[in-house]
């Protein structure tokens, strides 16, 4: 029986309420218009239920009530008092990362996971260093926002926390301090894409300049390990000739060394406790071949690196916010070999980066990996925020679309997208009732997707943020509409991953 829910003049969010086992105290979230506050109710004013929290206290019907802000201190207190809110490693379970660039999407994500039966391990706290920079959020803010969202919905099923696309040891340290448990290393800057077109003499020159000391290796040792032997990977046999090996080493050798250094730093900082690693080589110019995947995995394993998932660059195009572009039969044939390598040399999960809205490949991924798969989404939750705005405030949505079109050519540079402004409908040609459909139009959807940083951080001539304050205020005043859109959208993402018995 909850006393907190019965208090007058408090709009308590019912799923958030936690009653202590001894019945002496309760915690919950209370809504005041667009603002949320933490509520703690206890029989005694000196109750340990108040330890670590800040806020204003008052007396209600013989109880002490604390109402506090959704601050970093109070989020930390929640994680200490309610251990299920602390992130944890997820291991080899089928998992889905649900990035939240705004800090308000977790309630909708939780509802989607519940709707499909909770058979997928979730990561509600996920954001890349690049996204944090563009949205001007800190790792701690990302962690705390996810904590409040899980608490609001009463989620007790556990979750991971993905510090995504880390490039430096400083990135690791800042995310580790915030409590992240899943560390995605992005060595993309150390991948030599020129290896694909280099001549044999150029490849040999590049091979000589690899960091052999960091790799604990020599060219002759490398050759003896790979050239000659054949590698049986389930029903597949993979072999290397000298050219294939040299190209793989030149392309990925620096990246392997960087991942090993990052991993050693992480293990030293954590003593190997409560953390897991993902390796990402998806943001490269060419697909990762099976021989290259094998080289990466065997070299990382030789160097003592342990990882739970790996993201190759797959054939076809995984563009932002839209379905897979390419031949699905060719994708499945190639993906099947990658999945076999992951089982043989791990087992570890294959990770689908830029995985938002890739509905045509989800059944293939689950079928070929036998559930050893991790889906990573990010911008699709931002797009559902825009969807909600389009439904309720067409004028505001239209102004964002006009601005996004202005920013697209600049902002698309760091993304793999193929949208063209000329193919996206002109704002003046779209009636208010049809504005939500823009998010179903390929070019407009990608335009919205890649301009999120500008929309959220750009300032006008008066020095004020052009959209951010109104954007966030809108979502805070329409939380149920946003959560409903997120739930419906993510159920479509999650359902294909719960079909295994």
Phi-psi group of 122: left, alpha or beta (phi > 0 → left; psi -120 to 50 → alpha; rest → beta): beta
In whole angstroms, how far apart are CA 321 and each of 6, 267, 358, 419? 44, 34, 8, 11
Query: Contact 442/420 with Cβ under 8 angstroms?
Result: no
Alpha helices (H) in 123-241, listed in sequence order? 129-135, 139-153, 169-178, 200-208, 212-215, 219-226
Close Cβ partners of 155 (under 8 Å, ≥ 6 residues apart): 84, 110, 113, 124
Close Cβ partners of 306 (under 8 Å, ≥ 6 residues apart): 263, 277
Q: What is the DSSP pairing of strand 230-233 with strand 11-19?
A: unpaired
User: Rounded to whole angstroms, how far apart are CA atoms 80 and 461?
Assistant: 44
278 is annotated as an active-site residue: yes
Residue among 100, 278, 443, 487 flagged as catalytic:
278
Count CA atoms closer than 13 A to 460's CA, side-chain side: 8
Under DSSP, the state recorded for 317 is B
Close Cβ partners of 260 (under 8 Å, ≥ 6 residues apart): 214, 215, 300, 303, 304, 305
446 is annotated as an active-site residue: no
User: Rounded to whole angstroms, how far apart are CA atoms 359 and 370?
Assistant: 17
At residue 138's C-alpha, the angle toward residues 133 and 143, to 5°, is: 130
User: Rounded to whole angstroms, how far apart are CA atoms 416 and 285?
Assistant: 9
Close Cβ partners of 394 (under 8 Å, ≥ 6 residues apart): 432, 433, 435
User: Rounded to whole angstroms, how far apart are CA atoms 365 and 373?
Assistant: 7
Residue among 131, 164, 186, 411 flagged as catalytic:
164
User: Rounded to whole angstroms, how far apart are CA atoms 394 and 357?
Assistant: 24
Q: Give the residue numbers marked as catalytic.
A: 164, 278
């Amino acid at each position: 029986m909850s006393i907190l829910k019965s208090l007058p003049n408090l709009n308590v969010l019912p799923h958030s309420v936690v009653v202590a086992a001894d019945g002496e105290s309760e915690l919950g979230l209370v809504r005041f218009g667009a603002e949320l506050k933490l509520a703690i109710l206890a029989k005694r004013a000196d109750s340990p239920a108040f330890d670590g929290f800040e806020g204003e206290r008052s007396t209600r019907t013989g109880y002490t009530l604390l109402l506090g802000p959704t601050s970093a201190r109070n989020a930390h207190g929640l994680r200490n008092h309610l251990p299920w809110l602390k992130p944890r490693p997820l291991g080899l379970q089928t998992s889905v990362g649900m990035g939240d660039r705004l800090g308000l999407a977790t309630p909708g994500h939780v509802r989607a996971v519940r709707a499909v039966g909770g058979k997928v391990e979730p990561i509600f706290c996920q954001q890349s260093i690049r996204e944090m920079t563009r949205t001007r959020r800190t790792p701690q803010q990302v962690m705390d926002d996810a904590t409040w969202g899980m608490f609001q919905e009463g989620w007790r099923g556990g979750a991971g926390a993905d510090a995504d696309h880390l490039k430096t040891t400083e990135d690791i340290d800042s995310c580790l301090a915030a409590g992240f448990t899943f560390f995605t290393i992005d060595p993309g800057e150390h991948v030599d894409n020129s290896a694909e077109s280099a001549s044999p003499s150029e490849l040999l020159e590049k091979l000589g300049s690899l960091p052999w000391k960091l790799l604990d290796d020599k060219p002759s040792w490398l050759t003896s390990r790979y050239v000659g032997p054949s590698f049986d990977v389930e029903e597949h046999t993979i072999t290397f000739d000298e050219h294939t090996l040299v190209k793989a080493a030149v392309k990925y050798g620096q990246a392997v060394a960087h991942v090993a250094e990052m991993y050693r730093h992480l293990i030293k900082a954590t003593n190997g406790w409560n953390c897991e690693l993902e390796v990402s080589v998806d943001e490269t110019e060419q697909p990762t071949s099976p021989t290259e995947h094998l080289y990466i995995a065997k070299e990382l394993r030789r160097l003592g690196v342990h990882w739970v998932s790996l993201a190759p660059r797959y054939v076809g195009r995984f563009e932002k916010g839209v379905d897979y572009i390419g031949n699905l039969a060719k994708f499945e044939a190639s993906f099947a070999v990658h999945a076999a390598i992951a089982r043989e040399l791990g087992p570890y999960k294959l990770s689908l980066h830029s995985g938002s809205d890739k509905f045509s490949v989800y059944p293939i991924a689950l079928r070929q990996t036998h559930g050893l798969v991790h889906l990573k989404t990010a911008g699709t939750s931002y797009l559902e925020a825009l969807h909600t705005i389009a439904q309720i405030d067409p004028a505001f949505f239209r102004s964002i679309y006009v601005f996004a079109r202005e920013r697209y050519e600049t902002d698309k540079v760091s993304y793999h997208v193929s949208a063209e402004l000329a193919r996206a409908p002109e704002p003046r040609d779209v009636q208010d009732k049809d504005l939500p459909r823009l998010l179903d139009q390929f070019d407009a959807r990608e335009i919205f997707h890649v301009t999120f940083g500008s929309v959220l951080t750009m300032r006008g001539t008066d020095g004020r943020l052009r959209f951010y304050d109104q954007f966030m205020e809108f979502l805070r005043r329409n939380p149920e509409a946003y959560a409903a859109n997120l739930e419906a959208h993510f159920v479509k993402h999650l359902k294909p991953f719960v079909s295994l018995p």
